[in-house]
Amino acid sequence: MNNFIYDIPTKVYFGENQLGNLGPELAKFGKRVLLTYGGGSIKKMGLYDKVVAEIKKAGLQLFELSGIEPNPRIDSVRAGAEICKKEHIDVLLAVGGGSTIDATKFMAAGALVDFDPWDFFSEKWAPLTDALPIVSILTLAATGSEMDAGGVISNPKTKDKIGRVERPMLPRVSFLDPTNTYTVSPYQTACGASDMLSHICEVYFNMSTDLYMLDTVMEGLMKSIIKYAPVAMKEPDNYEARANLMWASSWAINGFIDGGKRQAWSCHPIEHELSAIYDITHGLGLAIITPRWMKYCLSEATVSKYVQFGVNVFDIDKSLPAMEIATKAIDMFADFLFKTLGLKSTLSAVGIDDTHFEVMAEKAAGIGGTKYGFVPLAPKDISEILKMSL
Ligand code: NZQ
Ligand code: ZN
């Protein structure tokens, strides 16, 4: 196992009836709170009223920014950073899914610099050394943004979607109440499950052989998602299913499972190009790409990892020939995504053709650094994976 530093400062309030802690937690950072949220789901589910009541009870001053889009856009970040500067905001409270939390992270950092947010975040010459404190209330189990330092932001004008992973953007406190995900649609629940699985696969598919403990944790996380996502889709208010998915979403990406692994991600850079151009749901794009990536990377050199995956996650008979186990494992993974979760299985099915494949492949390889992935991917390899996904 390689050396690593694990240091996550996010305090998590997990479970029901913890919102009474919100006011006191926010008050630790100051009096002026910017509440951020998306297109209105938090109002429909009654969470908005509860949050506002807690903020008022704590005697804090409330400012608001709503309308943060799925695949959040830089204009929302600009608006939020502007409010922070003008109103001397002390702390940002993001209530929503990954899009709201991500955009809020960029607002919190953008508030402390004099650059235009897009210039600042897309040009890595300017180090991101500080951000206003962020508190989150998660309403969709998927991205893990509630407990990681990452954020992804889109610029519809340039058709770019860029990510930054910066320690100051880590939420200081996150409220994870599974009942806040009861209203998530079956489709978004499926996309969330696909996203979490992909986060784990990006790390799990690695040829290191000395990470038994981490591999076992990842297999447990994947089995939990495979077990509970279909339950949550059928029974939206099944607490056990929602709770297991919610905690899995955080642990799939909070840095724990990749302790010691040094490897760039592969499917995410490709998917980010898809959602940058076509604005598709992140988890859906990953569902289409990930099994094709697995197929593309399978060889005599990598087959042992697939065997481990097939035997430990899908209970495939370990006495079968290695290649047979590997292909069966990929098929079972794809069946889970497309048959059990009901996600669309091809790019054509979501209206995407090969028009932009070359540009996407170049960008994914360049920005995403896919040549340092599980199997090194050059633009031509990415084009091939995209073609396999048509
Ligand atoms: O906008 P509202 O009204 O809130 O509706 C949202 C949105 O339409 C809805 N929703 C959320 N919670 C709900 C709900 N509807 C009913 N009940 C609830 N409780 O769901 C829709 C999707 O929400 P969104 O936040 O976009 O989904 P998700 O959490 O999947 O976030 C996706 C974004 O996160 C990025 C993705 O690229 C994408 O931009 N990612 C962030 C990562 C990170 N921070 O580390 C890593 C990921 O790999 C990913 O790239
Ligand atoms: Zn993801």
Beta carbon of 99 within 6 Å of any ligand 1 atom: yes
Task: Using alpha carbons, select from 341, 337, 316, 340 the residue that is nearest to residue 389.
Answer: 337
Phi, psi of 60 (to 5 degrees): -95, 160
Whether 1 is covered by a domain: the verdict is no
- Asked if 371 and 226 sit in the same domain, the reply is yes
Phi, psi of 226 (to 5 degrees): -65, -35
Whether 318 is covered by a domain: the verdict is yes
- Asked if 143 and 201 sit in the same domain, the reply is no
- Asked if 168 and 193 sit in the same domain, the reply is no
Whether 165 is covered by a domain: the verdict is yes
Show which of 133, 162, 180 is a domain's final residue: 180
**So what's the pLDDT on residue 305?**
97
Residue 97 DSSP one-character state: S
pLDDT digits (tens, 9 = 90+) for 195-204: 999 999 999 9
CB 60 within 8 A of CB 13: no
Beta carbon of 150 within 6 Å of any ligand 1 atom: yes
In the chain, the largest separation of any two C-alpha atoms, in whole Å, equals: 66
- Asked if 175 and 189 sit in the same domain, the reply is no
**So what's the pLDDT on residue 112?**
96
**So what's the pLDDT on residue 379?**
96
Q: What CATH code is carried by the domain that includes residue 66?
A: 3.40.50.1970
Dist CA 372 CA 388 (whole Å): 21
Show which of 126, 153, 180 is a domain's final residue: 180
Beta carbon of 133 within 6 Å of any ligand 1 atom: no
**So what's the pLDDT on residue 6?**
87
Side-chain-side CA neighbours of residue 281 (13 Å)? 18
Distance 325 CA to ligand 1 centre (A): 34
**So what's the pLDDT on residue 123?**
82
Q: Which two tokens stand for residue 296?
A: 């593309």
- Asked if 241 and 321 sit in the same domain, the reply is yes
**So what's the pLDDT on residue 239?**
98
Q: What CATH code is carried by the domain that includes residue 355?
A: 1.20.1090.10
- Asked if 197 and 140 sit in the same domain, the reply is no
CB 341 within 8 A of CB 384: no
**So what's the pLDDT on residue 259?**
77
Structural domain span for residue 281: 185-388
Beta bridge partners of 161: 154
- pTM for the complete prediction? 0.96
Show the CA angle centred on residue 305, arms to residues 303 and 311, nearest 5°: 100
**So what's the pLDDT on residue 367?**
76
**So what's the pLDDT on residue 135?**
98
Q: Which alpha helices (DSSP H) does the chain contain, by range? A: 22-27, 41-44, 47-57, 74-87, 98-110, 117-122, 186-204, 212-234, 239-251, 267-278, 282-297, 303-314, 322-335, 357-368, 379-388
Residue among 152, 166, 258 whose CB has most ligand 1 atoms within 8 A, to mutate = 152
**So what's the pLDDT on residue 258?**
86
Element (H, E) at 344: none
**So what's the pLDDT on residue 3?**
85
Show which of 132, 162, 180 is a domain's final residue: 180
- Asked if 303 and 347 sit in the same domain, the reply is yes
Distance 72 CA to ligand 1 centre (A): 9
- Give how many domains the chain has, as a whole number: 2
**So what's the pLDDT on residue 127?**
85
Whether 352 is covered by a domain: the verdict is yes
Count how many residues are written for the chain. 390
Distance 123 CA to ligand 2 centre (A): 22
Atom of ligand 1 nearest to the CA of 151: 44
Whether 380 is covered by a domain: the verdict is yes
- Asked if 170 and 235 sit in the same domain, the reply is no
Report which protein residue has its CA nearest ligand 1's atom 31.
Answer: 98
The closest ligand to the CA of 66 turns out to be 1
- Asked if 266 and 376 sit in the same domain, the reply is yes
Task: Using alpha carbons, select from 254, 198, 256 the residue that is nearest to residue 229.
Answer: 198
Residues of the chain predicted below pLDDT 50: none
Whether 280 is covered by a domain: the verdict is yes
- Asked if 368 and 310 sit in the same domain, the reply is yes
Beta carbon of 102 within 6 Å of any ligand 1 atom: yes
Distance 268 CA to ligand 2 centre (A): 6
Q: Estimate to the nearest angstrom the gap between the alpha carbon of 187 and the chain centroid.
A: 16
The closest ligand to the CA of 191 turns out to be 1
- Asked if 236 and 373 sit in the same domain, the reply is yes
